[in-house]
Amino acid sequence: MSGGEVVPATGAGTWRATWLLRHRAVRAAVATVLLVGVGACGFLWWTRPPSAHVDLPAGVEEGQRTFLSGPVEPTRTEAGILRLAELRGRAHRWEATLEWQRRGGTQDYLELGLGDSVHVDGLGTITLVGASPGPLMPWNRAPGSGDQVVLNINLDPGVTLLP
């Protein structure tokens, strides 16, 4: 060492490299958590629309309000039975699939978006005016609860709802 040689000190500069490595790892972890959180919130926003009730569309008269749900008795007429088959969010809009079972045994499945109307022979014109989904997590469901829809039904002449 008498010849003026430069000897690197042990540990000199390694603290900065270690700090930079840790800093980058923390930034990458935070960015990953943020991306996953934003993605999950976007997915929930798209599949569980906030709008659950609408006014009757123009040209649709106020009729009888009917609630359909899994645990609730279906709507019955002399011609058939109307049940809720499924409620789902699609393209940031609530859509319901209704099952119309005629007395003869044939079944029709009706697709209705929130605010849409459809005419059913033997029943009348049905408009989906409300959607109330069950809890997102299945373990939060109370017994006897589930998805529920509100329908406005303008009955055909001579048709009455059975109790």
In residues, how long is the chain? 163
Q: Which two tokens stand for residue 37?
A: 């959180």
| Residue 73, pLDDT score | 85
| Residue 135, pLDDT score | 74
Q: How far apart are CA 35 and CA 109, in angstroms?
A: 39
Residue 21 has pLDDT above 60, yes or no: yes
Question: Of 91-95, 105-109, 138-142, which has the strongest mean pLDDT?
Answer: 105-109
Provide, rounded to the nearest whole percent, the portion of the chain with pLDDT above 90.
47
- Collapsed DSSP state (helix, strand, coil) of residue 141: coil
Closest to 104 measured CA to CA, from 86, 118, 122: 122
Provide, rounded to the nearest whole percent, the portion of the chain with pLDDT above 70.
91
More confident residue, 154 or 70: 154
CA distance from start to end of the chain: 105
Residue 12 has pLDDT above 60, yes or no: no
| Residue 8, pLDDT score | 61
pLDDT tens for residues 39-48? Answer: 998 887 777 7
Query: Residue 112 is which amino acid?
Result: L
What's the CA angle centered on 71, arms 127 and 64, to 5 degrees? 30
Give the residue extent of every domain in the chain: 9-47, 64-155
Q: How far apart are CA 115 and CA 117, in angstroms?
A: 7
Q: How high does pLDDT run on average in the chain?
A: 86
